[in-house]
Structure 1
């Protein structure tokens, strides 16, 4: 008897959370794509004061949205477990506001935070696309692959620049070409030298292995279905069926003649 009100409250809070997520879906999707563009611009060309202020405003909006969802979630631990990558992605930008701390002056720490930011941005973009293209499997995979390619190329340029790494990338176009070849599993002569570049390369390779086969199979299925629906394909199938029927009729006639001769 005492559990019923509690269960009703839990269901009501889950329902409220679901309604809130649907209501925030469109604006958060726009902010997610804007954030992705800002991260790519920062990785490739560096940051300027105006873009930094704009990015901070978007980050604050993400924090407020997550805090409201967390407050409404009836089971906090379960909610955090499902959104652990989002939590990390929200925490990392805070270190940009604490540049005076001594340990943050280390290049290794800054590069590690940048890698986490790239992964978190990819995860947020993935969630935004899933919400908008959930019923278009191939379209979702293609658009997501384009975004991952653009973001991954920016990360590789930041981690493996030609002035710092022998054989590295001299421009964003070079990094974009290399990332595209990696995702299509064709490979390249250059392999990352830095730890962050190798981790990002490994993640991109996993994504390419998992998704590119699906895209290829979808295109192959499309062309097979189109060929099967072509008029000449139907004519050929009809002719084959007519020939098979003629052969069966001739075989029956031969069997009938043989039976008559034996009798």
Structure 2
């Protein structure tokens, strides 16, 4: 069966063109969140140019935008073919509630705390506060002593060790050694590299992927010198452009998914 029209949302032009060259149907492409409506089980997406909306058969979504939770909810209510599946994205879009769910299932969960906006805490050991719904090392603060939170935040012990990400797309997985000049580590520094996959971390990642019903997952862990492992967070829209083999596998997975019935 050939689908008449798909919508690609969030991907950059290079990735859009890769898919465009491998799909002979109609495509609506938006780099940011478009207007949509769901009527009689049909999803309509804003045109690329001009006024109005067009029905689409499938959605590919890869992005994190400030106010996209309701948009993802709309895709979930539509309940049509969406990659990654909308329900899994919805479960993970809000970082604190996603962490709560992950702690229920992860083998490497560790005790977390919580602090309300405007509340004080005194600690003799290093703690890390995390708030908001952005990634890339933002909205995190490490402290000892007295501290007043400006946001509702999760509190966790500061774990000294190696920061890694286990990434899974379809049938392939990678482990990435995260880097950074400070205690904050991410996938973006030039010296980030792929490394051998830890079997236990992969098993944990795949278990969480199944439980939360995700198609793509990127789990960040800390591995301490004594081998103790801690899940830090789940990335529901992990970076796919940092390594070319990951990017191509992602794009080929998307193309294959588009052509499935």
What is the TM-score when the length of structure 1 is the normalising length?
A: 0.25
Structure whose residues are more often helix by fraction = 1
Structure whose residues are more often strand by fraction = 2
What is the TM-score when the length of structure 2 is the normalising length?
A: 0.25
| Larger-Rg structure | 1
